[in-house]
Each structure stands twice: as C-alpha cells, then as structure tokens.
Amino acid sequence: MADSLSQIIIEKLDKNNFQVWKFRIMNLLMGKGYWEFIISDEKEPPLPKNPTQQQIQANKTWHEKASKILYWLFMNVSNSMIVHIQDAKSPKQEQAWDTLVKMYSTNTQACKM
C-alpha cells in the first residue's frame, strides 16, 4: 500500500512536542500529496439527488483523502491528546488539524510569555 505508515515513525503529539510534531506531520502530508487538503478550504463535494458518475467519484475521492489524513492524525496523537480531535469528521474545516493548531499555538504563546 503506497500510503502505509508502516515505515514512517513520528513521535506522537503530546503536551510538550507540538512544534516538532507539527513539522513532521506537515512534511508527511506534503510528501504524500495531501497538504493542500489541510491548507485549502476544500469541502466535501455535495451529491445531488441524481448525481453523475463524476460527482460520485469526486465525493468518493474526497472521503478517501479525508479518511487517510484523519487516520494519520489520530495515529500520531498521544492517548491523552486524542480527546481533542476524536469527534472530527474532517481533517480540516475547524476540526482535527485546526483544533490542534489553535490549542497548541495558544499554549506555546502562553509558555513563551
């Protein structure tokens, strides 16, 4: 499987390593070609009542990408941190990635002060 994590080891996110974790997970997603999915506002393509084959495929592709990214995020977050993103349905859209960045950016700035 081309997108397997079996050879990729990233230290799991905990309360002390956000900047290093963020750098590594960003590079993983860039290397796999999924970073655009995180930084764009791409939303799930809607399926009308009678969707075309192209609309069905676009929706399926979106779900496959979102599922892979969520899997990588979930597997690279420590058990104590998973509670913050466990209900995310999307890797972006104010869900998994944005929640972690917002939470840890605030904590990092507070620690610096």
First to last CA, the chain: 45
Q: Which of 2-11, 59-68, 92-101 has the highest mean pLDDT?
A: 59-68
Kindly report, residue by residue over 36-91, the tens digit of the pLDDT: 888 887 788 889 999 999 999 999 999 999 999 999 889 999 998 888 888 888 88
Looking at residue 107, its pLDDT comes to 59
Look at residue 30 in the predicted model and tell me its pLDDT: 92
Q: Report how far residue 80's alpha carbon sits from residue 90's, in angstroms, rounded to the nearest whole number.
A: 20
The predicted structure's pLDDT at residue 113: 42
Res 92: pLDDT: 76
Q: What is the pLDDT of residue 55?
A: 94
Asked whether residue 105 carries a pLDDT value surpassing 70, the answer given is yes
Q: What per-residue confidence (pLDDT) applies to 110?
A: 47
Q: Which residue has the higher pLDDT, 85 or 111?
A: 85
- Residue-averaged pLDDT of the chain: 83
pLDDT above 60: residue 16:
yes
Give how far Cα 31 sits from Cα of 3, 28, 50, 63, 94, Å.
Answer: 10, 5, 36, 19, 23
